[in-house]
Chain A
Amino acid sequence: MGELQKRAQGLAAKPWFRMPRQPMLRHLTYAAVAVVFLYFLTQKLSAFNDYEVGQIAFYAVALAGLTLLTGINGQISLGHGGFMAVGGFTLALLVEHTTWNVVPELAIAIATSALVGAVIGIPATRLRGPYLAGMTLMVALGLPYLTNQYNSFFGGDQGLTTPQPTGPASINPEQWLAWIQLACALIVLILLGNLLRSRFGRSFRAVRDDEIAASLAGIHVARTKVIAFMVSAGCAGLAGALLALSAGGVNSAEFPLSISIYLLAGMVIGGTGSLMGVWWGAILIVYLPTSWAPALASHFHVNSQVSANLAVIIFGLVLVVGMLVAPGGIQGALRWVAARVGAYFSPDGVPNMKLSLQEAPTDRAVHDGESVTQVGEPGVQVHPTND
């Protein structure tokens, strides 16, 4: 091997920039890049686009919670809209009865919905699959009606108003709101990213993969599931509170079952179990019903009855076809492409998912759960026996 070649290899082994290995730092780096990017983005966009970016941010928060629960911990929730309602109403009640700053209000909204999450999560630890799915569906359906029953407290049909927070006069209100919502989304994603790299993250996955093996390994299965539920509900609550800020108010009609359905579809399209995938899902939730479906309908000149139902049909198709054909979602597809591209340049020509995805091989052995599609894998089947 010639001297030059050796030096060249040496150079190749030492890239000019290496992502830090510690998860917190790595995530902070991503976040810093994101902050700069999003700052420029929100500056360039129109006021309404800023408003939409803010919406994408809070749906990303809700989706991150859902993907943690379903993708990472293996508990399904069809009722995350219910937890969003809890967060939204908590914020609105605080706005109504206190003169606090928005930050403690959001914090209390998170705490309240996490608490409600615990109430639902505790019985949920005894449930599997279909039982849990049905129960969470009932949560989404039932919780908003409580606000009708106690309408003097929750403002009845009119609901409660949550004025849009305003910043310095030089910044337009939509941009300011988008910044608040984006900041929340980035913080949530960093914290969840770290959580998943921690002992908790590993036990979340272990419980999903095999509860009995997990408990043999010393993991408190029930506690782990309840914690996952609380974290997930807390995220949904934050998202609901941020939605309230965008909408200018909350009422019981604001959190219909369809929000829960949209969240599920958003999770599937982004890639179940992938925290980065939540952005794809959030974009779909924000743009499909209000922009893409109407555009599609007018392009194909369908009648108003069809165009009115187009978004719903597409959400249904996303869930069905996504699950059947591409359970990894968009993020899974991107990884697949990245792995092929990586293989093209690697010396042995074998696509190596693991090496191409993360920089530290030693880290991988423990932490690879996030990078592979989870739902869709034949896990260990636990059958109730018959007779």
Chain B
Amino acid sequence: MKRFSLHSARRRARLYATGVVACAVVGTMALTASGPANAASVSTPGVTATSITLGATEPLTGVAANYNDIAPAMQAVFAWANAHGGVNGRQINFKFVDDQYTPSITSTMTHQLVLQDNIFADIGSLGTPTQLQVQPYLNGLKVPQLFILSGCNCWSSSKYPYSSGYQPPYTVDGKILGNYVAKNFSGQKVGYFTQDDEFGFDTIKGLNMEIKGSSVVNKQTYVASTAAYVAGLQSQVAALQASGAKVVVMAAIPPFVGLFATTAATLGYTPQLVIDGVAGDPSAIGAPAALTTPAPNGQALLNGAITDGYGAFENQTSNAWVQVATKLLTKYDSEVAKNGITGDELVGFNLGYTVYQALKAAGKNLTRQGLLNAIAADGKNFVNSGFVPYSYSSSVHFGYEGEQLYKMSTTATPITLPTGTFMGVSPVGPVYYTSPGAGPVKVWHGAQDKVPASLSSTA
């Protein structure tokens, strides 16, 4: 009896299971047959008669949050443009969202910008790993991914025609810094201190084109993680010191340049530092304006360090571009109004103004391909605050390929921020330009673009 009931219970159970699964399958198939309605939009996404929607993913929080002031400055330029009639009669909506410098979040937020906010283009998004993550996705959908704030060599590739970078590629940084080292510190032993990723690799590629291999005595790397904070950079600095390197070229992010200086002071190691522009802002490294704090803290080493930049620094207050940016941003960016302008905000200003010109050049009948064509054809002529013109063409998708060298020093006009007063920088020598390829490093004789009257009169 018991056996029977067990048996029948099992049979019923099996029948039931079959029934459930069958219902689900049949139901699903029946519904699938109807298929979703994907209405293909005829007009350009993100463009209406009165508006253009642009998007960006930015590290508003997280490890790279120090760059969170760039996008608001771009936003301020668009607010200025909108207040003066917009672009070809259209107002610019700029939606920048936080990706915490985390590629998976970049991916989600980019999906949101494309699928939900229906952006026309992704502009001025920041970060190498973050933007690499979405490069295949955006190019697959033919959404422009322009003016990426990263110096990766990877933005100018025929595989991804909808992408373009804004900063000089790191290899150009490396060549220009390497050229300076070869000319000014010839015969001295050179050491490298680089981040263990594409940033470091690409910079070294450029350095090696200019500096004789025989003079490079030691190469050290570090991993950009908070873990290194604890154990310090003792082993790397000690190795460079042991090798006798008198010049250390660094491709490192700001906190690690600071840490290097501190560690070197502990070891009594005082090489000439040559620092890639990524950490070229003394305020980002935390180099104080005066070296009289309770302990030297290694900052003395930063006094006299050579670095490079593709635009003016905020302490160059006599520069016309710094003046107009300060004026415009004070009006449209509450952060600048409150705390004064930073180097990042100068970048955001220049980038915003470039985007404005690009949209204008693309004309009234705005399409994604039209925008790309306009940048390829006219990009070289966009007025900007850089020391060299843009390099944009149909084959080159880099913004700048030229830079000014600077020296950090306690005697230059200090950089004053709410967090403190920092060392200033002053220009050294002429402006150089070169391509990331094999070509030589040349002196650029042209002057910086003049601030257009249409901008200075309305800012």
Contacts and interface: CB of A to CB of B under 8 A. Distances in A.
Given A48-B115, A159-B129, A159-B133, A55 B108 contact: yes
Contact of A290 (B103, B108, B197): B108
B61 A35 contact: no
Contacts of A39: 27-28, 31
**Interface range on chain A: under 10, 10 to 19, 20 to 34, or 35 or more?**
35 or more
Interface string B52-90: 000000001100010010001000000000000000000
Contact of A36 (B24, B36, B65, B198): B24
A175 B116 CA distance: 14
Interface string B120-158: 000000001110111011000000000000000010000
Interface stretch (B14-22, B265-273, B349-357, B435-443): B14-22
B316 to A, nearest CB: 26
B227 A24 contact: no
A148 B223 contact: yes
Interface string B222-261: 0101010000000000000000000000000000000000
Given A158-B198, A246-B108, A308-B65, A256 B129 contact: no
A172 B28 CA distance: 16
B31 A43 contact: yes
* Interface core residue of B36, B97, B116 (most chain A CB under 10 Å): B36
B17 A28 contact: yes
Contacts of A171: 32, 35-36
B132 A20 contact: no
Given A32-B23, A36-B27, A254-B102, A246 B116 contact: no
A163 interface: yes
Contacts, number: 141
A254 to B, nearest CB: 4
B49 interface: no
Instruction: Tell me which of A145, A249, A253 has the highest count of chain B C-beta atoms within 10 A of its own C-beta.
Output: A253
A181 B129 CA distance: 25
A350 interface: no
A156 interface: yes
B111 A175 contact: no
B112 interface: yes
B223 A24 contact: no
Nearest to B37: A43
A251 interface: yes
Given A28-B20, A35-B28, A157 B198 contact: yes
Contacts of A307: 60
B381 interface: no
Nearest to B195: A157
Interface string B280-295: 0000000000000000
Interface in A288-343: 289-290, 294, 304, 307-309, 312
Contacts of B101: 253
B161 to A, nearest CB: 18
A355 interface: no
Given A145-B227, A156-B197, A172 B38 contact: yes
A49 B225 CA distance: 34
Nearest to A246: B107
A145 B132 CA distance: 19
A51 interface: yes
A25 to B, nearest CB: 5
A135 B17 CA distance: 43
Contacts of B112: 48, 290
A151 interface: yes
A248 B61 contact: no
Contacts of B68: 304, 308
Contacts of A215: none
Interface string B166-197: 00000000000000000000000000000011
Interface string A1-38: 00000000000000000001010110011011001100
B129 A158 contact: yes
B344 interface: no
A49 B111 CA distance: 10
Contacts of A49: 116
Nearest to B19: A32
Contacts of B28: 35-36, 39
Contacts of A164: 137
Given A35-B24, A163-B136, A312-B61, 14 more contacts: A48-B111, A49-B116, A145-B227, A156-B198, A157-B198, A158-B128, A158-B132, A159-B132, A171-B35, A247-B108, A253-B102, A258-B102, A290-B97, A304-B68
Pairs A-B, 8 closest by C-beta atoms: A48-B115, A157-B197, A308-B61, A247-B107, A48-B116, A32-B24, A254-B104, A170-B35
